[in-house]
Chain A
Amino acid sequence: DSGVTQTPKHLITATGQRVTLRCSPRSGDLSVYWYQQSLDQGLQFLIQYYNGEERAKGNILERFSAQQFPDLHSELNLSSLELGDSALYFCASSVGDRGLGANVLTFGAGSRLTVL
């Protein structure tokens, strides 16, 4: 157990629907990162939050949004889902967002999303 908790582990939904993925970072970690892993795109960085504020943005679609709450958990919202959104979504956390505190990311086990 890495200490990073992601729910749900598996999710099957239909095109056009909206889902929310949840992440609880490791105790003491203030920074949360979201990644998407698919066979054709590999591991793609989506977005990073640090202590509730957005820190960096990657290849995140406009249909996707995220936030980090005061208790430091984070949610990734995926809407108007398409078949191509089927992927494994990982959350990772680190102590800080820069310097030594950002150097090691601890990953959760992932949420597998299947869009039918």
Chain B
Amino acid sequence: AQSVAQPEDQVNVAEGNPLTVKCTYSVSGNPYLFWYVQYPNRGLQFLLKYITGDNLVKGSYGFEAEFNKSQTSFHLKKPSALVSDSALYFCAVRVIGQGGKLIFGQGTELSVKP
């Protein structure tokens, strides 16, 4: 079965410091991986995706993610965190052969303090 895991429920970072939100995956075949962000009382917003190609994927709002096949990881990163980055972040994997549905991780609450 295909799945993703986000090992940290919460990540705390000081503004201006780099941030990393971790994600590991388990898939059969090539993974299609995604990051979404959810602000309070809002729907999920797409940040970036990895389908194929370069292992470093750049997305919205200065975020990027590094795909590592040997470690089956797809960590979300940002060089300099902003207070406005505080939100709930979800990693997701697309289930091949079952339409376009995404399987989401449990989410990681990112808190950026001034």
| Contact present for B104 and A102 (CB under 8 Å) | no
In the complex, number of A-B residue pairs with CB atoms less than 8 Å apart: 67
What chain A residues lie within 8 Å of B51 (beta carbons)?
A: 103
Contact A42 B99 (CB under 8 A): no
Binding site for A on B (CB under 8 A): 32, 34, 36, 41-46, 49, 51, 90, 94-95, 98-107
Which of B49, B90, B99, B100 has the largest count of A CB atoms less than 10 A from its CB?
B100
A103 near B49 (CB under 8 angstroms)? Answer: yes
**Cβ contact of B101, chosen from A2, A48, A109, A110, cutoff 8 A:** A48
Please tell me if the beta carbons of A4 and B101 are within 8 angstroms of each other in the complex. no
CB of A83 within 8 A of chain B? no
- Where the two chains meet, the residues of A that have a C-beta atom closer than 8 Å to any C-beta of B are 2, 4, 31, 33, 35, 42-43, 45, 48, 50, 55-56, 58, 90, 92, 94, 96-98, 101-110
Given the complex of chains A and B, what is the CA–CA distance between A4 and B49 in angstroms?
Answer: 20
Sample of 11 further A-B pairs with CB below 8 A, known A97-B99, A102-B100, A105-B46 = A42-B106, A43-B90, A43-B107, A48-B101, A97-B100, A101-B100, A103-B32, A103-B49, A104-B34, A109-B41, A110-B43
